[in-house]
Structures are given as structure tokens and as C-alpha cells.
A and B are shown apart, each in its own frame.
Chain A
Amino acid sequence: MTEMSKIVRTITAIAFPFAMIYGLYVIAHGHLTPGGGFQGGAVVASACAMILVAFGSKWTIDKIKEKRLSVFESVGAIAFIGLAFFGLIFGAVFFNNFLVGNDYLFGIIPVVGSGLADINTAGVIPLMNFAVGLKVIVGLFAIVLVMAYATTNYKEGKK
């Protein structure tokens, strides 16, 4: 993908932080409002894809290599499966929600019924949301970036 005009680049640079913040909000509030790691991750990844479209794949791949993205993705996946293993260690069962019920970290049980709840609830669910969110952001962006870079390189007659 080649670079687009200056207007597009400026607008993208302005819009990018808003899209990013919105995506992070969706990830962080996954256990309270509609959304979660996948949805928020998709929002952030599309913000990154917007950058890619506006600034061109060569500029983007100079800023961030796909190898580094791949490492981040591994980290997200390991965090997720690690939380599952922590369930095995602390709660005796794989994928146990071992944090629920304690009183400090994400452990508060909300009042049954409707009502606004605290963000400090739901045990491991918010942590898993973050792990999955990281994975989805990096994963989707890596797919788009690699495909865009490969196709532009080809067009320049490198065959």
C-alpha cells in the first residue's frame, strides 16, 4: 500500500488516539458492558489498520517489524494460557476463576440483580480480557500488515 495524501494522514493522526482509547475502554469494561477482549481488540486493530492505509505499508513496517508483533502475540497467548494454568495451581481446576470471592483484586461479587457494578469484580475475567485483547490487537494487525507489505513489494516488480 502506498502513502495517501496529507489530508488523510492528518485526519488519521487525529482520529487514531480516539479509536484507540475507545477500543481500550471496551476491553477494560468487558465484564460490565457489552464488549470484551475480542471486540475491543478488533477496534484497536482497525485503528492500526487505518494508520497502515493512510501512511503506507513501508512506513509502518519501518516503525514496527512483524517479528516483534509475533513476539507480542506469543506473550498475549502465554498470558491467557498462563491464567488458565494459575487456575490449576491455585484453584485445583484448569480454567478455574480463582480470584473470584477474595476482597482485593477483582474479587468483589456484585449485588445480585440490576445495578451499576464496580470495575473491581469478576475475578480473572478482566485479566483474561486484557490478555486476549493484546493478542487480538497484535494478531489482526500482523495479518493485515504482512499481507499489505507482501502485496506492495510484489507490485514493484520484485519477481
Chain B
Amino acid sequence: MSKRNLAAAVFFSIVAVVFIFSALLMHPFGVLDESDMDDYVIENTQEETGANNGVTSVVFDYRGFDTLGEATVLFTAVAAVIMIFRRLKND
């Protein structure tokens, strides 16, 4: 076993243990501890944003700035891909 494999195995097992523990300790599926923030959205989405779709009201109104960031990520990726495949001078 090479050194790289050993390091990888150690890393992998540590992360595996951490993740499995967190899965076992989560609250039961479908039974929530807290849901204040989401209940607020569900109750007020129609009055505050006029949107019938709760998810869209979150995406474009309550957390609109995240969506700007997300659109920017896509813009960045397009710019990056076009830049990477650009024509170089000596081609």
C-alpha cells in the first residue's frame, strides 16, 4: 500500500465516522425540532410577496440576494469556460 493510499484511507475513514455519527444523531425524519423561519414564510408569502409558490417567493424575494449570487456563479462559470477555450495568439 503506497503512502498516498494510506493517507487517503485514514482521511476517508475519519470522514466516514464523522458523517455516519451525524446521520444517526439527526432528529427523526419528518419530525422537526424548529420551524419558525419556514412557518413565517408559509404564512406570509401571499401577503408580502404576492406569490403563490412559496419556494419562488423565497428564491426571488426573501433570499433574492442568494439568487443574485447564484446567477453570478453561472455567469462566472460561463466566463471561465469561454476564457479557458479561447483562442491563444500563437494558435
Contacts and interface: CB of A to CB of B under 8 A. Distances in A.
Interface of A: 30-34, 36, 38, 66, 70, 73, 76-77, 80-81, 84, 94-95, 97, 100-101, 106-112, 117, 121-125, 128-129, 132, 135-136, 139-140, 142-143, 146-147, 149-150
A150 B60 CA distance: 35
B85 A36 contact: no
A135 B51 contact: no
B38 interface: no
A146 B52 contact: no
A116 to B, nearest CB: 9
Contacts of A32: 51-53
Nearest to B91: A158
A108 B50 contact: yes
Interface of B is mostly: helix
Interface residues of B, number: 29
Interface of B: 46-53, 55-57, 59-61, 64-65, 67-68, 70-72, 74-75, 77-79, 81-82, 85
A73 B46 contact: no
A70 B71 contact: no
Given A77-B71, A77-B72, A112-B47, A31 B57 contact: yes
A109 B82 contact: no
Q: 9 closest A-B pairs (Cβ-Cβ)?
A: A122-B51, A150-B85, A31-B51, A95-B64, A122-B50, A121-B50, A117-B52, A125-B60, A100-B50
B74 A135 contact: yes
